[in-house]
Chain A
Amino acid sequence: MQETKPTITIKGTRDGLILFIDENSSFEEILQDLIKKLDASTPQKEEPVVSVKVKLGHRYLTEEQRHQLKGIIEEKNRFQIEAMESDVIPIKDAKTWLDESQLKVVNQIVRSGQVLETKGDLLLIGDVNPGGRVRASGNIYIMGNLLGIAHAGIEGDQEAFIAASYMKPAQLRIAEYISRAPDYEADGVYMECGIIDPDQNKIVIDSIKTLSKQRKVISAFERRMNNG
């Protein structure tokens, strides 16, 4: 190699390796160099699995390229990719993120037979009557009575939750979890929220006050940013 910048820089940290991939080299070059670099060190049998973080810089990889890269790194040596971080995302993804990140404020009564569905978080100012249904890909906040069905995280976000001023729902659904009202006549609860309790592996209803402990990051958008 000449005096050019290396295409791949490897840094060791306490948590594992970080692979910096030069953003100006072509993808083929990177793959070749990567194979070379990895071949240089043959793994020993007893070596533990090392976690690797790949930093892509201002490079965008398609799903296929990501797969290729992952294949090379994980196959040859006993590495495990922990994350692939890129500083750029396509406009299309950004737009969907924006859509999903928005807090949609709706002021209506969701009556029997009506379905209100939104992307992102939903703030409903009004009641959900029995037989009515609200659905959101993020959290659901209801300033009113929840008497119908609420489904948060419809695209599978298990961190989503449902909060309401008054809660006496027919059903609460979060991601693929469903809980329903008890068969006996029960009073509703004020200022409570429903979240998935991972210990019990079901939806629990708890006071809104406890929410700050369980969910540090409330916005669905921030969660996605953090999780990549």
Chain B
Amino acid sequence: MGEAIVITSGKGGVGKTTTSANIGTSLALMDKKVCLIDTDIGLRNLDVIMGLENRIIYDIVDVIQGRCKLQQALIKDKRFDYLSLLPAAQTSDKSAVTTEGMKEIVSELKQEYDYIIIDCPAGIEQGFQNAIAGADRAIVVTTPENSSVRDADRIIGLIEKEDMIEPPRLIINRIRNHMMKNGDMLDIDDIVQLLAIDLIGIVADDEEMIKAANKGEPISLSPNFKASISYRNIARRILGETVPLQSLEEEKGFMQKVKAFFKI
């Protein structure tokens, strides 16, 4: 019996989809059976970032409205045997999916897969309700910006009312170490203190991430980048490994190396 994890944030553009793709890929790298679900109906992106756009035949709305079987709509990843994607529809809107339909799909997928990663749309409306409906756990993504933290706070409040196994966990994305050090960005400790949930990982802002996304290759595939290691660490923590929160120190250490390299 697998576990469904929803990746959410409230605010748009903080990196939910990238995070979903990379956590899914990292889990697949560790030989887990993973299924990604894109619930951003009408604005699907996950297939693009995974580089699977051209393989879509059926989508989640087709499954819910009974035009195809679930297995037909699942797209197998080109790199891993046990990584699948259930794409969102591009032509319908979010009302085409119901919470009941979502729950059914997720529980069916849980029979076969170890992890179901649900990519949540921005906002707190129907799309969000659908995405969290079938989830057992939640990961909230935020960036070190006031507006994004504010929305994360709101989302955490909404998730806490749901019936989840544990309180949501936090990823702080797009960290620019030099800005954080100068106090131009919110501090990690301040964010964690305000949101009062467990930190599951931090990811540095990396130009490589944009390149990777454009190529349709999740960055976690190539171990040479710091962001890739961050995602892999997050995946290990999801598996229950205690990768000590040294990860924070690690990141800093790495950043210092980079700084030293550029003689800043």
Please give the residue numbers on chain A whose beta carbons come within 8 Å of chain B beta carbons, in ascending order.
Answer: 109, 111-114, 127, 129-132, 147
CB under 8 Å from chain A, chain B span 124-175: 150-151, 153-154, 156-158, 160
- State the CA gap A113–B158 with chains docked (Å): 9
Contact A113 B157 (CB under 8 A): yes
- State the CA gap A113–B154 with chains docked (Å): 6
- Measured between beta carbons, the chain B residues less than 8 angstroms from A130 are 150, 153
Contact A112 B151 (CB under 8 A): yes
Which residue, B154, B157, B158, B196, has most C-beta atoms of chain A within 10 A?
A: B157
- Measured between beta carbons, the chain A residues less than 8 angstroms from B154 are 111-113, 131
Which residue, A114, A132, A147, has most C-beta atoms of chain B within 10 A?
A: A114
Q: Classify the interface of chain B: helix, strand, loop or mixed.
A: helix
- State the CA gap A112–B150 with chains docked (Å): 7
- State the CA gap A185–B151 with chains docked (Å): 21
- State the CA gap A147–B160 with chains docked (Å): 20
- State the CA gap A130–B158 with chains docked (Å): 15
- Measured between beta carbons, the chain B residues less than 8 angstroms from A127 are 194, 196
Please give the residue numbers on chain B whose beta carbons come within 8 Å of chain A beta carbons, in ascending order.
Answer: 150-151, 153-154, 156-158, 160, 194-196
- State the CA gap A114–B158 with chains docked (Å): 9
Chain B nearest CB, measured from A166 CB (Å): 11
- State the CA gap A127–B151 with chains docked (Å): 16
- State the CA gap A39–B151 with chains docked (Å): 71
Contact A112 B153 (CB under 8 A): yes
Which residue, B153, B156, B160, has most C-beta atoms of chain A within 10 A?
A: B153
Contact B150 A114 (CB under 8 A): no
- State the CA gap A109–B158 with chains docked (Å): 12
- State the CA gap A109–B156 with chains docked (Å): 10
- Measured between beta carbons, the chain B residues less than 8 angstroms from A129 are 153, 194-195
Chain B nearest CB, measured from A62 CB (Å): 44
- State the CA gap A7–B120 with chains docked (Å): 77
Chain B nearest CB, measured from A188 CB (Å): 12
- State the CA gap A109–B193 with chains docked (Å): 11
The contact of A131 among B150, B158, B195, B196, by CB within 8 Å, is B150
- Measured between beta carbons, the chain B residues less than 8 angstroms from A147 are 194
- State the CA gap A112–B195 with chains docked (Å): 10
- Given the known A-B contacts A130-B150, A131-B150, are A112 and B157 also in contact in the complex, defined by CB atoms under 8 Å? yes
17 pairs of residues in contact across A and B, judged by CB atoms under 8 Å: A109-B196, A111-B154, A111-B156, A111-B160, A112-B150, A112-B151, A112-B153, A112-B157, A113-B154, A113-B157, A113-B158, A127-B194, A129-B153, A130-B150, A130-B153, A131-B154, A147-B194
